[in-house]
Chain A
């Protein structure tokens, strides 16, 4: 069978199929991704409180959808591939977000938690009082050693 034969379109026959789109189309998607990146940076300069992270994730999901649908051809694949793909990303999201959540709900940071000191002179950097043992107990850590204050 040396002749070329055309395959009928199967929903999922395990073969890799070509989906040729114009490069102009791909540049268009690229432009959309750039615009959304600029948007997410711009938006980060405003403080929406708890909504900050939601907004960031919504914009990121819009970008991810563009990449998955067009660059990764999921738009032209069977729905099953999309479901398998989303399942993989769901577990990645659990992996990242639960760790991130741990970070956010651990000790609340106050300005007194960070204290600079020069070990050679014992001089403390300006910018707030040294951390006290009370704040250290609050986070279950050791009380930071307080360097001797410089005589005035």
Chain B
């Protein structure tokens, strides 16, 4: 059960976060953190593909890593397409 939590804001004041705000930030940091992890993995894969491509390892006969790397990247992409409006746009104050 979420509870009231104390948090220090940027001016050094202690603020009480409501259970609802507590839940929102729990969801927010899990979602963005997990997504950030996937982005780092995706960037590593694309970097590896770039290096291999510069070495001339891919050809019209063999390009599976390029295809799969791009597929993974777009899957991560899809997650952010939904997370961005849900976390940042819906329910924001005026």
Contacts and interface: CB of A to CB of B under 8 A. Distances in A.
B61 to A, nearest CB: 8
Contacts of A21: none
Given A60-B82, A64-B82, A139-B19, A72 B13 contact: no
A78 interface: no
Interface residues of A, number: 44
A142 B89 contact: no
Contacts of A52: 90-91
B66 to A, nearest CB: 9
Interface residues of B, number: 42
B85 to A, nearest CB: 4
Interface in B47-94: 60, 63-64, 67-68, 70-71, 74-75, 77-79, 81-86, 89-92, 94
- Chain B facing A: main interface SS: helix
A92 B82 CA distance: 11
B27 A113 contact: no
Contacts of B71: 72
B88 to A, nearest CB: 8
A132 interface: no
B20 to A, nearest CB: 5
B44 to A, nearest CB: 20
A44 B24 contact: no
26 contacts: A40-B85, A44-B92, A47-B94, A52-B91, A53-B90, A56-B86, A57-B82, A57-B85, A57-B86, A60-B84, A60-B86, A63-B81, A67-B74, A72-B70, A96-B83, A106-B23, A107-B20, A108-B20, A109-B20, A109-B21, A113-B18, A114-B16, A114-B17, A115-B15, A119-B14, A139-B18
Interface of B: 1-4, 9, 12-21, 23-24, 27, 31, 60, 63-64, 67-68, 70-71, 74-75, 77-79, 81-86, 89-92, 94
Given A71-B77, A114-B17, 7 more contacts: A40-B85, A57-B82, A64-B81, A96-B82, A96-B86, A99-B27, A108-B20
